[in-house]
Amino acid sequence: MRGPNKPKPLTPQELRALFTVDKFRLLTFDQGVRLGLGNKNQVRDIFEKLVNLKLIGRTEQRDPDVLSKLPYLHFLKPAGARALEAALGEPGTAAKRRVRTQNEVRHRMGVVELRMALEIWLKASNFWQLEAFTTDFEPGSKGRAKATAFQKMRERDRAGYPPDATAHLRDGDGTLWGILFEYERGGARGDLSRFKRQKLPLLRELAGGQPRNSADEPLEPYFVEEQFAEGMQKAVRFAIVFEDEARRDRALKGWPEPTSPDWTRFFIKALPELETDFNGGWWRPDGTQRPLFLLS
């Protein structure tokens, strides 16, 4: 018999919301609506209840540039993980989020959007299955010890490089494919200089481009498949997604040696393009366009 202070069991809609927060790691009200958890008022009420029951937590940030609140980011708490285990037989993955800056909030929201777009495409396809989607802010990630980090690159003084997210997909023929995601905002000012100066050379090296050491001597190429997953049978796609078309265009305009074969597996889009068509219309550094995957 239920005691007087014991909360009522969660409704199917509330349980689904709890499961979805766990699945995407972080979720805003608006993203919950777009994922079909209910209309705006319903999602707000459900999330408020789950927060009050201490099943999920949330963090609120204030944007100093526009003096307005950023959306709440909701995340699973230990009690929520236990509730999922009691209801579904498998525990969720709890985390205590510490998101301190407006750029961090906006960046993590963008990474969640990447998975949402991928999930929409997969739902419409009968050929692909998502085996894993891992973010660099997975529960337990701290500092450089991130879930997406690759091992230290040989003969480089670098800690493990953490992509923003990785995805492992299997097609209908049983072939394993991989996507390395980078979501690029350029900070609040949209400054892409760090992306071009630091990140692109590293990504180029990961893709098998010719790396050099501090003495400008050639080193053995580093291939991302060595670290991505066992049984990877196809070249990993490098999916570089910019917050908007303006940032995408600036990046493409200043891409170094755009026709180099080093960029063969690089695909570029703006986030709004990704939301309307995940697979089609990716830009290449050489200015052409093609789907991310030619199979369907």
DSSP states of 225-243 as a string? HHHH-TT--SPPEEEEEES
Instruction: Give pLDDT, residue 228.
Output: 76
Average of per-residue pLDDT across 124-151: 80
Instruction: Give pLDDT, residue 1.
Output: 43
Q: What share of the chain is helix, strand, coil (3-state, %, to 5)?
A: 35, 20, 45
Looking at residue 262, what DSSP letter applies?
G
Looking at residue 263, what DSSP letter applies?
G
Question: Is a pLDDT exceeding 70 seen at residue 97?
Answer: no
Give the rounded percent of residues in the chain with a pLDDT score beyond 90.
Answer: 59
Q: Which residue has the higher pLDDT, 219 or 259?
A: 259
Instruction: Give pLDDT, residue 46.
Output: 97
Average of per-residue pLDDT across 67-75: 79
Instruction: Give pLDDT, residue 286.
Output: 95
Spatial separation of the C-alpha atoms in residues 282 and 74, rounded to whole Å: 31
Within 10 A of 284 (CB to CB), how many other CB atoms are there? 18
Domains, in order of start, for the chain: 12-99 (1.10.10.10), 104-290 (3.40.1350)
Question: Is a pLDDT exceeding 90 seen at residue 110?
Answer: yes
Pairing of strands 237-242, 266-270: parallel
Instruction: Give pLDDT, residue 221.
Output: 54
Q: Which long-range contacts does 55-60 make (Cβ < 8 Å, 24+ apart)? A: 55/18, 55/79, 55/80, 55/83, 56/18, 56/21, 56/80, 57/96, 57/97, 59/97, 59/98, 59/99, 59/105
The CA-based diameter of the chain, rounded to the nearest angstrom, is 74
| Alpha helices, DSSP H, located in 35-183 | 40-52, 78-88, 102-124
Residues 182 and 238: beta-carbon distance below 8 Å = yes
Residues 73 and 104: beta-carbon distance below 8 Å = no
pLDDT mean across residues, the chain: 85
E strands, the chain, where? 56-59, 62-63, 68-69, 73-76, 128-135, 165-171, 176-184, 237-242, 266-270, 282-283, 289-290
DSSP 3-state assignment of 68? strand
Instruction: Give pLDDT, residue 59.
Output: 83
Spatial separation of the C-alpha atoms in residues 223 and 231, rounded to whole Å: 14
Q: What pTM, to 2 d.p., does this model score?
A: 0.87
Residues 26 and 98: beta-carbon distance below 8 Å = no
DSSP 3-state assignment of 103? helix
Tokens for 148, please give them: 């997406």
Q: Which residues, 6+ apart, have CB-to-CB distance to 256 below 8 Å?
A: 196, 200
Q: What angle is formed at CA 31 by the lines to CA 124 and CA 37, rounded to 5 degrees?
A: 75
**Least confident window among 33-37, 120-124, 199-203:** 199-203
Instruction: Give pLDDT, residue 216.
Output: 54
Instruction: Give pLDDT, residue 200.
Output: 92
